[in-house]
């Protein structure tokens, strides 16, 4: 069966979604995206993702030639055409074909549907391991395609036998490579970094769910806070809520509240 | 007349040098490049550029499937086929078609020939203006395609009426958006930042030329050093040596040594 991608102004076969290497995303790494998942054939948190996509585009000086209603229609049509329930949709906007290879041009828009791997049962039950690393994403509040440090670090993470990286600057935590990071304190508060992070949508929804039962604090969180915490977990569109088993040499055996929050989140949004 | 680009393993028409949007350079900004100019039909500083290209690829965990001798043959063939003297050649290597959109894959290699605009007579004679801005390129020693901050700042630079940006961190200078930065001190020493910079090839060659007549220091250079300097200039493949007329509110009217160095550089390498 054919798979379709929306490319600038038309639905084309996904395999033909080609860009000339003159595009500014290729030449200068200038692009942005957003990604949401389908529950069945229904987009999850679509309005939040569109809010962020349009905000990213504006912040990056790129114009989206479609209204929000038009983009929604395109997404609906794409989902109908592809008939791939439970997959994800990626909205991608590049700097366009720049005459001088540097100046922002008319963006290229791609809306594509992709499968993704859910977290393993082992990761869900026993948690993932993280390595702390000094770095702050440039323009961290914008969902750019700049993941160069996160990708570049993959061989090191593999060598160290850890699953992902946790960025900090002078001990002040920000986020993982593609996920927000949260801690449960000894007195059952949920704390999470408030600066130099991508405003994650799963993070936002989780904090809303968590606030019904726990005290929630968006604040400065440090490497030292990890040593003093009871539990750690991450949030993200693909991983949803996943416990953390280890950050560097700090081990977490308890994932009770993390698991509770995952169940609350899933009851509220996924299995409702 | 057809223009050719070398794409992975073959010479193709330049306009057909297309990449699927699954490439890691589009998805995650993961790519690197190098760029050299032709003097007539002869590559300038080819060995230095190939040294840097292979070093960048190794540092970025990307494998180039061709030996240095093979790449040289490809470049020679491309120059012969295109017959575009005085233009530039861009070598580009991406993270490849990643199955999961994150893991480094088999790179896509592009070698393309492009025209470029030489600096204007006004810039050559009267110099360019710079705005200092706090930022350090991530992985600054590698010639990645990450210019997201430099491109993102373009509207601000335009609004401020300046030509380019000069990055610093806590007052310690690094480099301009695509050029190295140098100062002439009141006692005629040439000083230039030694850390958090791309090791520019024009910078290296210029320093060799300059060292014959001046004391040269690669060291920590600060915003304060600008205030105490006699002249400022930039180096780069396209701009070669270009005087700086202004950094923020510091004005340079004197470009004597900068001009002298440009003439020495051009005599040594371009018009020899």
Q: What is the pLDDT of residues B130-176, one digit of tens each?
A: 999 999 999 999 999 999 999 999 999 999 999 999 999 999 999 99
pLDDT band at A94 (very low <50, low <70, confident <90, very high): very high
CB contact under 8 A, A61 and B155: yes
User: Residue B27: which of A15, A18, A145 has the nearest Cβ?
Assistant: A145
- Write out chain B residues lying below 8 Å of A155, CB-based: 61, 104
For residue A20, list chain B residues with Cβ-Cβ distance below 8 A: 15, 17-19
Q: Are residues A100 and A174 in the same domain?
A: no
Residue B261 and residue B209 in contact, taking contact as beta carbons nearer than 8 Å: yes
Is the backbone of residue B86 left (phi > 0), alpha (psi -120 to 50) or beta? left
CA distance A169 to chain B (A): 14
Q: Are residues B109 and B158 in the same domain?
A: no
pLDDT of residue A272: 63
Same domain, B104 and B145: no
Report the range of poorest mean pLDDT among A73-82, B14-23, B201-210.
B14-23
Query: What per-residue confidence (pLDDT) applies to B272?
Result: 63
Do A95 and A162 lie in one domain? The reply is no
The answer to whether B150 touches B165, Cβ cutoff 8 Å, is yes
Residue B91: closest C-alpha in chain A: A27
CB contact residues (below 8 A), chain B span 89-128, against chain A: 92, 94-95, 100-104, 110, 112, 114, 117
Residue % of chain A over a pLDDT of 90? 97
User: Which of A21, A92, A96, A236 should we substitute to test contact with B (largest number of B Cβ atoms within 10 Å)?
Assistant: A21
Instruction: Look at residue B4 in the predicted model and tell me its pLDDT.
Output: 97
Q: Are residues B146 and B106 in the same domain?
A: no
Instruction: Please list every residue in chain A whose beta carbon sits closer than 8 Å to the beta carbon of residue B61.
Output: 152, 154-155
Q: Are residues A150 and A81 in the same domain?
A: no
Work out the average pLDDT over B116-138: 95
Quote the mean pLDDT of chain A.
97
Which of B6, B7, B14, B21 would best serve as a mutation to test chain A binding (most A beta carbons within 10 A)? B21
Q: Show which of A66, A91, A114 is a domain's final residue.
A: A114
Per the structure, how many domains does chain A have? 2
Is the model's pLDDT at A199 over the cut of 90?
A: yes
Task: List the CATH number of the domain containing A68.
Answer: 3.30.470.10
Q: Helix, strand or coil for residue A141?
A: coil
Give the structural domain span for B149: 121-270
Query: Of A20, A61, A221, whose CA–CA distance to B20 is shortest?
Result: A20
Q: Cα angle vertex B253, ends B249, B256, to 5°?
A: 135
Residue of B nearest to A27 (CA): B145
Please, which pLDDT band fits residue B124 given cuts at 50, 70 and 90?
very high
pLDDT at A270: 87
Chosen for mutation from B148, B159, B178 (greatest number of chain A CBs closer than 10 Å) is: B148
Q: Which of A114, A148, A178 sits opposite B29 (nearest CB)?
A: A148
Q: Are residues B65 and B133 in the same domain?
A: no
Compute and round to an integer the Cα radius of gyration of chain B: 19
> What confidence score (pLDDT) does residue B270 get?
87
Last residue of a domain, one of A114, A138, A159: A114
CB contact A238 to B (< 8 Å): no
In this complex, do A152 and B135 lie within 8 Å of one another by their Cβ atoms? no
| CA separation, residue A110 to residues A10, A78, B20, B193 (Å) | 10, 12, 11, 41
> From CA A11, how far away is CA A77, in angstroms rounded?
9
DSSP secondary structure code for residue A120 in this structure: P
Are B147 and B55 in a shared domain? no
Task: Write down which residue in A88, A114, A140 finishes a domain.
Answer: A114
- What is the per-residue pLDDT across A101-127, written as a single tens digit (0 to 9) for each? 999 999 999 999 999 999 999 999 999
Cβ separation of B149 and A138 shorter than 8 Å? yes
- Residue A250: phi and psi, rounded to 5, are -95, 120
Beta bridge partners of A92: A33, A110
Give the distance from residue B55's alpha carbon to the nearest chain A alpha carbon, in angstroms.
15
Residue A184 binned pLDDT confidence (cut-offs 50, 70, 90): very high
Which domain CATH number covers B219? Answer: 3.20.10.10
User: Quick check: A140 contacting B, CB < 8 Å?
Assistant: no
Q: How far B241 CA sits from the closest chain A CA (Å)?
A: 20
- Considering the domain architecture, whether residues B246 and B127 belong to the same structural domain is answered as yes
Assess contact for B183 and B192: CB atoms under 8 A.
Answer: yes
Put simply, the answer to whether A117 touches B100 (Cβ < 8 Å) is yes
**Do A76 and A138 fall into the same domain?**
no
pTM of the complete model: 0.96
A18 and chain B: CB distance < 8 Å anywhere? yes
User: Are A55 and A185 found together in one domain?
Assistant: no
Q: Looking at the structure, do residues A246 and A142 belong to the same domain, yes or no? A: yes
How distant, in Å, are the alpha carbons of A132, A135, A136, A150, B88 from that of A170? 11, 9, 10, 18, 42
């Amino acid at each position: 069966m054919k798979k379709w991608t929306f490319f600038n102004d038309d639905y084309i076969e996904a395999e033909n979604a080609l860009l000339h290497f003159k595009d500014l995303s290729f030449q200068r790494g200038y692009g942005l995206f957003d990604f949401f998942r389908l529950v069945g054939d229904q987009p999850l948190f679509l309005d939040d993702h569109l809010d962020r996509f349009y905000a990213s585009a504006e912040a990056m000086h790129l114009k989206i030639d479609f209204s929000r209603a038009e983009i929604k229609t395109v997404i609906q049509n794409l989902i109908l055409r592809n008939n791939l329930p439970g997959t994800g949709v990626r909205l991608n906007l590049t700097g366009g074909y720049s005459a001088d290879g540097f100046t922002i041009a008319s963006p290229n828009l791609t809306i594509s549907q992709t499968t993704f791997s859910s977290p393993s049962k082992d990761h869900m039950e026993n948690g993932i391991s993280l390595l702390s690393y000094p770095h702050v994403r440039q323009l961290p509040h914008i969902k750019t395609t700049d993941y160069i440090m996160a990708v570049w670090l993959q061989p090191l993470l593999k060598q160290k036998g850890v699953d992902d990286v946790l960025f900090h600057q002078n001990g002040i935590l920000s986020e993982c490579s593609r996920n927000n990071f949260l801690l449960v304190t000894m007195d059952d508060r949920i704390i999470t970094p408030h600066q130099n992070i991508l405003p994650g949508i799963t993070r936002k929804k989780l904090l809303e769910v968590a606030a019904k039962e726990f005290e929630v604090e968006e604040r400065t969180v440090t490497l030292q806070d990890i040593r003093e915490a009871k539990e750690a977990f991450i949030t993200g569109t693909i991983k949803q809520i996943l416990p953390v088993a280890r950050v560097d040499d700090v081990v977490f055996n308890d994932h009770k509240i993390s698991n509770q929050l995952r169940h609350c989140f899933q009851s509220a949004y996924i299995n409702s």
